[in-house]
């Protein structure tokens, strides 16, 4: 059974979600990661296609070793952000960045990519405890990463 939360909790969760996307993922406030990500966070993301991320330490490592290492000169724009009645927040954003490093064993292109993601976030005591990430990426990015995804997912 899901219980509705009060307005102040919803407003806090919206602010934390915005800070996570703009500050952590967007790189404008990287210290926010330690302040707003719960130590026991669970994350489902294509950045780790073989299973969920367990814990803030692993999440930080995955972010830093994937997008953090492969892209530079990024910008993020939140297109939609909304709170659900149970306090979860859904965020849709677009990001652009220059591909300067390898990702999933695929060599860099030097091209500027656009990424589109949808995050469904759950919070506990003002910290991100669960993040379900869906990619809505343009075909250019998906085509570039297709060999790595096929290698990872079809090798099971």
Lowest pLDDT segment from 34-38, 51-55, 111-115, 136-140: 136-140
CATH architecture of 7-154: Roll (3.10)
For 112-149, write each residue's pLDDT tens digit: 999 999 999 999 999 999 999 999 988 888 888 888 87
pLDDT-derived band at 49 (thresholds 50, 70, 90) equals confident
pLDDT-derived band at 107 (thresholds 50, 70, 90) equals very high
Give the 3-state secondary structure of the chain: CCCCCCHHHHHHHHHHHHHHHHHHHCCCCCCHHHHHEEEEEEEECCCCCCCCEECHHHHHHHHHHCHHHHEEEEEEEEEEEEECCCCCEEEEEEEEEEECCCECCECCCCCEEEEEEEEEEEEECCEEEEEEEEECCCHHHHHHHHHHHHHHHHCC
For 63-96, write each residue's pLDDT tens digit: 999 989 999 999 999 999 999 999 999 999 999 9
Q: Is the pLDDT of residue 32 over 80?
A: yes
pTM greater than 0.75 (yes/no): yes
């Amino acid at each position: 059974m899901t219980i509705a939360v009060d307005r102040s909790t919803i407003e806090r969760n919206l602010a934390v979600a915005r800070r996570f996307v703009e500050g952590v993922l967007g790189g404008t406030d990287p210290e926010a990661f330690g302040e707003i990500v719960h130590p026991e966070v669970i994350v489902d993301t294509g950045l780790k296609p073989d299973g969920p991320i367990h814990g803030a330490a692993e999440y930080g490592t995955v972010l830093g070793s994937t997008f953090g290492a492969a892209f530079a000169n990024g910008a993020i724009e939140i297109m939609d952000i909304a709170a659900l009645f149970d306090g979860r927040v859904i965020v849709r954003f677009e990001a652009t960045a220059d591909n300067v490093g390898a990702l999933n064993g695929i060599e860099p292109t030097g091209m500027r990519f656009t990424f589109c993601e949808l995050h469904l976030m759950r919070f506990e005591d003002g910290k991100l405890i669960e993040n379900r990430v869906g990619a809505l990426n343009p075909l250019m990015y998906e085509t570039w990463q297709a060999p790595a995804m096929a290698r990872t997912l079809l090798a099971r």
